[in-house]
Structure 1
Amino acid sequence: MTTPPGDSAGWTAADMPSLIGRSFVVTGANSGLGYQTSLALARKGGHVVLAVRDLAKGAEAVERIKAEDADAHVEARHLDLADLDSVRSFAAGVERLDVLVNNAGVMWTPRLESAQGFELQFAVNHLAHFALTGLLLPVLADGRDARVVTVSSFLHKQGFLHFDDLQGEHKYSRRGYYAQSKLANVVFALELHRRLRSNGVAVASVLAHPGYAATNLQSAGPTGVQKLGLRLGNRLLAQDAEMGALPQLYAATHPEVDGGQFIGPNGRREQKGHPALVEPLEAARDRGTARRLWDVSEELSGVVYDLPR
């Protein structure tokens, strides 16, 4: 783990450059890390599209941001990541984009299925963002200092890609399939970086994770004892969402960030702190695994990238 080049260990959102004239899409933007990310980007002059499942909550988030900054350029648009038809509809309405922040996620849910019948954590956390990125790539390619920021978790290091049972139809665990989805985020983002670079596409694929940040992610999916334990952990151990959003803000805006980098907190076990370069699970770099995940993701989502491997 190292401090990102050119920065002190105390980088905050206040250190971001002016974002006037730049356009952002943030998924899951009405609360938690997504809201804090959208707020910070808007404060620096960026035009931010809050991509949200609940438009009423999205409108409330827009109003909260404008209450802090009356000149903020923010809007909410509907995006249900549990439905690939919604992903396609949302992407069709995006005409200009510099940075896509794949932030939204679900955690430790019972085994539920998306609209297309895929296991929910894999569908929302990975497959929908894979599809959204592919659909928006032609628009991003025309952007300025264009980036895709994929938000994973330090729990990706506990993950395994169950290619023989990706949907958890035979043996499902909430934690295991969450870790699988977060590992898929890392494998996807690194492979996207390789394909963009080898094909000369001027879009950077960057990874980020928030460490242990207190958000409603820990209460929306888990149930019973797990939910109570996570609530207690949020109070006693976690950093707040504002701090948790710093790695993805750094990844989205810092001029020295490069494709293929992974930004996370600089504290012990990457659970808290200011942005730093961190390392993914070594297995996430495996090219064969990446090609296999890419192929199955294109097949399941129906979104085929125009990027030869």
Structure 2
Amino acid sequence: MTDDQKTQPGAGASCGGGPVMTPPPWRRWARPQGGWSLSEVPDLSGRIAVVTGAGRGIGLAAAEHLARHGAHVVALCAAEEGGRAPATALRQSVPGSRMDRVPCDLAQLAQVRHAATDIVRLADGRVDILVNNAAVAALPPTRSPDGYEAHFAINHLGHFALTGHLLPALLNAPEPRVVNVTSVLHWLGRFRPDQVAMPRRYHRWTAYFDSKLANLLFTYGLHAWAGAHDLPLRSIAAHPGLVNTTLGSRALRADARHREARALEWMQARWHSPEQGALSLVRAAADPHIGGGDLLGPGGRWEWSGPPVPARAARRATDPRAAERLWQLSQHLTGHPFPTDGRKPARDRGET
């Protein structure tokens, strides 16, 4: 159990049999205090880092940053997110670096389970860092192959299942941490458990905002679950600010919404690059001073850009009752990848 977990009292509800810890105190809007840079990343040699959505955008940038600091990176990518080019380019620029690629469609829970098996094999049974980054945005009404609304399925449910399947490997690491990538726009989200299949009144951006709120509720739910089981796992959230990527605009153009896509691209192009946006993720993954339950984001105005600092979450994002309800719902929909019988995970029972 980390120091920050020890000092936070329980709060009544439970995630898998233990008390939900009181959410971290509200933070004021952060401003850079001397900043934070890649020079502060410790040597990650010998550590295994899994990054989802690492075929492009901030996922690729985060994977490259971690690999350049010595981590063996396992990049989880959708089939259309490129082949081995990123890993080849990285090896050419950083001799001795290692990046393996595992294809997976996070919308398909069966693929997530198989991908977790491949990751454990590549990582020799131990995962130090899991960065749940992959996301979609602004999709038209779409259901996953398993029957769930696509933003909820990919942005949250697939990552929940992946984390649960990788839990034994995470607990084989001395100081494991899970980083869930959310958005500053989670403030506009709502938790609608009765609409996970498909909202009755669908809006492409509302569905995205709701999924980003779910990322934070999962972060705090996992933080509570780890504390209840006296585990050293740190569950941390990070958001990149406003980043110049094709997230959102890609789906808009595919749906012939070119004017909306151009407006989004115009705004994104004036802020973070993917390399800058990835700094929040990298700090959450590597900074030893960041504790479980923390949220990091850019420290500039409106948290759109700037060096990564502790950020403030919406009150509904740390609601213990909502976190518990989402946890139980996600367990049910994904086949209960986290222990549910009151026992501690394998490492605590002396198993391997």
TM-score class, shorter-chain normalisation, is: over 0.9
Q: Give 1:279's aligned residue.
A: 312
Q: In structure 1, what is the Cα distance between the partners aligned to 2:146 and 2:305?
A: 36
Q: Give 2:17's aligned residue.
A: none
Gaps of 5+ in 2: 1-27, 344-352
- AA of the residue aligned to 1:76: R
C-alpha RMSD over aligned residues: 1.8
Q: In structure 2, what is the Cα distance between the partners aligned to 1:70 and 1:218?
A: 35
- AA of the residue aligned to 1:232: W
From the CA coordinates, give the structure whose radius of gyration is larger: 2
Q: Give 1:195's aligned residue.
A: 225
1:114-129 equivalent positions in 2, closer than 5 A: 114-129=144-159
SS in 2 for 1:293: helix
Q: Give 1:146's aligned residue.
A: 176
- AA of the residue aligned to 1:182: K
Q: Give 1:76's aligned residue.
A: 101
Q: Give 2:235's aligned residue.
A: 205
2:266 to 221, 232, 242: 232
The CA deviation string for residues 150-193 of structure 1, in whole angstroms up to 9 with x for no partner, is 00000100001122222334111001110000000000101110
Q: In structure 1, what is the Cα distance between the partners aligned to 2:39 and 2:78?
A: 29
Q: Give 1:293's aligned residue.
A: 326
How big is the shift at 1:58?
Answer: 3.6
How big is the shift at 1:202?
Answer: 1.2
The CA deviation string for residues 129-166 of structure 1, in whole angstroms up to 9 with x for no partner, is 00000111111011132100000000100001122222
TM-score normalised according to structure 1 size: 0.94
How big is the shift at 1:92?
Answer: 1.3
% identical equivalent positions: 36
The CA deviation string for residues 252-307 of structure 1, in whole angstroms up to 9 with x for no partner, is 00011100000000000110000110111111111111111111111111134116
Contact 1:21 1:47 in 2 (8 A): yes
1:261-280 equivalent positions in 2, closer than 5 A: 261-280=294-313
> Residues 48, 284 of structure 1: CA spacing in aligned structure 2 closer, same or farther, 3 A cutoff?
same
Contact 2:136 2:155 in 1 (8 A): yes
SS in 1 for 2:217: helix
Q: In structure 2, what is the Cα distance between the partners aligned to 1:305 and 1:251?
A: 23
Gaps of 5+ in 1: none
Q: Give 1:57's aligned residue.
A: 82
Contact 1:9 1:275 in 2 (8 A): no
Contact 1:3 1:275 in 2 (8 A): no
Contact 1:49 1:77 in 2 (8 A): yes
SS in 2 for 1:220: helix
Q: In structure 1, what is the Cα distance between the partners aligned to 2:332 and 2:296?
A: 30
- AA of the residue aligned to 1:303: H
How big is the shift at 1:55?
Answer: 7.1
SS in 2 for 1:210: coil
Q: Give 1:243's aligned residue.
A: 276
- AA of the residue aligned to 2:182: S
How big is the shift at 1:9?
Answer: 3.0
Q: Give 2:286's aligned residue.
A: 253
1:12-27 equivalent positions in 2, closer than 5 A: 12-27=37-52
Q: In structure 2, what is the Cα distance between the partners aligned to 1:253 and 1:58?
A: 27
Bigger relative contact order, structure 1 or 2 (CA pairs below 8 A, ≥6 apart): 2
Length, aligned pairs only: 306
